[in-house]
Amino acid sequence: MAKIADGNIVGELKVEVKATLTVDEDTFDACVNIMTIYAREHGIKGMTLDFRKTAPSMLGRFLMSDEAVEDILGVKTKYNK
């Protein structure tokens, strides 16, 4: 830690901090349970999630009807052909 001997020094200090969050399986399960409770309390029938780093503000979309869930489940992608 740096010490300043002269209290009259005026300046600017910029600090950039980067961190990585690691979540274990138990924490992930707890988060899923919390999301499930929230969804049930608000009548949400399903949810789509997008975990790409390019879309953090668009993480998910609520599906409010059984029909919307069925539509999403029926969409063909390279993962569920």
Residue 26 has a pLDDT of 95
Q: Which residue type does 23 have? A: V
Q: Which domain holds residue 46?
A: 25-79
For residue 2, pLDDT beyond 80: no
Q: Assess if residue 19 is contained within a domain.
A: no
How confident is the model over 8-54, as pLDDT tens digits?
Answer: 767 788 899 998 888 899 999 999 899 899 999 999 998 888 777 76
Yes or no: say if 61 and 47 are a contact pair by the CB < 8 Å rule.
Answer: yes
Residue 25 has a pLDDT of 94
- Tell me how many domains the chain contains: 1
Q: Assess if residue 30 is contained within a domain.
A: yes
Most confident by average pLDDT, 1-5, 36-40, 66-70: 36-40
Q: Assess if residue 1 is contained within a domain.
A: no
Residue the block writes with tokens 């409770």: 37
For residue 1, pLDDT beyond 60: no
